[in-house]
Amino acid sequence: MSSSETFLFTSESVTEGHPDKVADQISDAVLDAIIAEDKNCRVACETLLTTGIALVAGEISTNTYVEIPEVIRKTIKDIGYTNADYGLDYKSCSVLTSIDKQSPDIAMGVNKGDDLGAGDQGMMFGYATDDTKEFMPLTIVFAHKLAKRLTDVRKQGILPYLRPDGKTQVTIRYNGFTPDKVTAVVISAQHDPHVELEQLRKDIVQYVIRYVIPQDMWDDNIQFFINPTGRFVIGGPYADTGLTGRKIIVDTYGGVAAHGGGSFSGKDPSKVDRSGAYMARYIAKNIVAAGLAKRCEVQLAYAIGVKEPVSIMLHTYGTGKLPKEEIKKLIVNNFDLTPKGMIETLDLLRPIYKKTAAYGHFGREDTDFTWEKTDKAEILRKQAGV
């Protein structure tokens, strides 16, 4: 893609009732319950869901006690799986746990008194663009808002025949890197068997698409694909096994930016897969907010047990106001990239994670999403002389 090219780009999202997202929320609900009582916990929690079963496994070291089955059932209930006809019912589903302690070999490299080594090796990416007020790609902004709206109209009783599972997808035509028009919207919404397809499609356009996407953004030939198979009654874990960490592109930038491959949910912030990705977003967003670039991608990379990153990469897509090396110096001088520094800067030892597990970890206005602050922008702007 170039700054003069016209192209179509697509991003997708899923509702909180999608089986993979249910798994993410359970994993993060377990983390929240533990970190609320024990800030020094080590949690790596994975969830698998299928018809009538929720299995939570992982490595957890903590000095507190959490009734994990209760956490699992409450999460499933809050999402809306309250009827056995949905294939998962919080009251009657089987809940299985298989929890062990964190490996002492890992703990030896991570737990270093007041210091902290990286909980694993890996690379993490952060991205920001000035295309939207959220500093996010417009395709993923619209996809998330459509998915959230599907849930809202279900829970508020506006479209009471909807069920928890659902997916959204938005295609936008770009002129250069500037979003122009929405050319296609795809929505698959799980529903009760009695609703007529024609009524569902009409309601989704009226109460979901029109609510989210301004009509002046519609292309003249916009296409709507609403429940394109014609029927979506069987859904959730009954139709598709759910697994933690299987929606990492939905969680981040909708495919616009690179991804290091590590998931976030179920991991305490000593795991740089999570804290490093949050810090990389924080850096990229502040660089764009400072006017140092219109688009920015930051990569951080770590070695297990080592506190300083082994590399820092910056990509501004030709929009930087300063040479990359000068911006990189600003990053090093203004952001503490050690695991301890990232945790303290972003105040990550709090039970804030369950709500990150649906509708994206980035571009949110919730004040608990501290990596969305632009409090470094003015400092960067002054130091850069821009």
User: What pLDDT, on the 0 to 100 scale, is given for residue 305?
Assistant: 87
User: What pLDDT, on the 0 to 100 scale, is given for residue 120?
Assistant: 82
Two tokens, residue 69:
């089955």
At 226, which helix (H) or strand (E)? strand 218-226
Q: What is the DSSP string of 306-319?
A: -SS-SEEEEE-TT-
Closest C-alpha to 82, from 179, 12, 163, 139: 163
What is the rounded distance in angstroms from the CA atom of residue 36 to the CA atom of residue 49? 25
What is the sign, positive or negative, of the torsion defined by CA atoms of 292, 293, 294, 300?
A: negative
User: What pLDDT, on the 0 to 100 scale, is given for residue 175?
Assistant: 93
User: What pLDDT, on the 0 to 100 scale, is given for residue 63?
Assistant: 94
List phi, psi (to 5°) of 312.
Answer: -130, 125
Reduced to 3 states (helix: H, G, I; strand: E, B; else coil), residue 339 is: helix
User: What pLDDT, on the 0 to 100 scale, is given for residue 233?
Assistant: 86
What's the whole-model pTM score? Answer: 0.95
What is the rounded distance in angstroms from the CA atom of residue 81 to the CA atom of residue 93? 10
Cα–chain center distance at 219: 28
User: What pLDDT, on the 0 to 100 scale, is given for residue 84?
Assistant: 84
User: What pLDDT, on the 0 to 100 scale, is given for residue 118?
Assistant: 84
Two tokens, residue 186:
């795809």
Two tokens, residue 38:
């024990």
Helices (H), the chain: 19-35, 68-79, 104-110, 138-155, 197-204, 210-212, 236-239, 248-251, 272-289, 324-334, 339-346, 377-384
Per-residue pLDDT of the chain (386 residues), as tens digits, is 556 789 999 999 999 999 999 999 999 999 999 999 999 999 999 999 999 999 999 999 999 999 999 999 999 999 999 988 887 899 999 999 999 887 665 554 566 556 777 878 899 999 999 999 999 999 999 999 999 999 999 999 999 999 999 999 999 999 988 999 999 999 999 999 999 999 999 999 999 999 999 999 999 999 999 999 998 888 889 989 999 999 999 999 999 999 999 999 999 999 999 999 999 999 999 999 999 999 999 999 999 989 999 999 999 999 999 999 999 999 999 999 999 999 999 999 999 999 999 999 999 999 999 999 999 999 999 999 97
Cα dist from 149 to 143, 161, 211, 264, 354, whole Å = 10, 14, 8, 24, 19
User: What pLDDT, on the 0 to 100 scale, is given for residue 244?
Assistant: 97
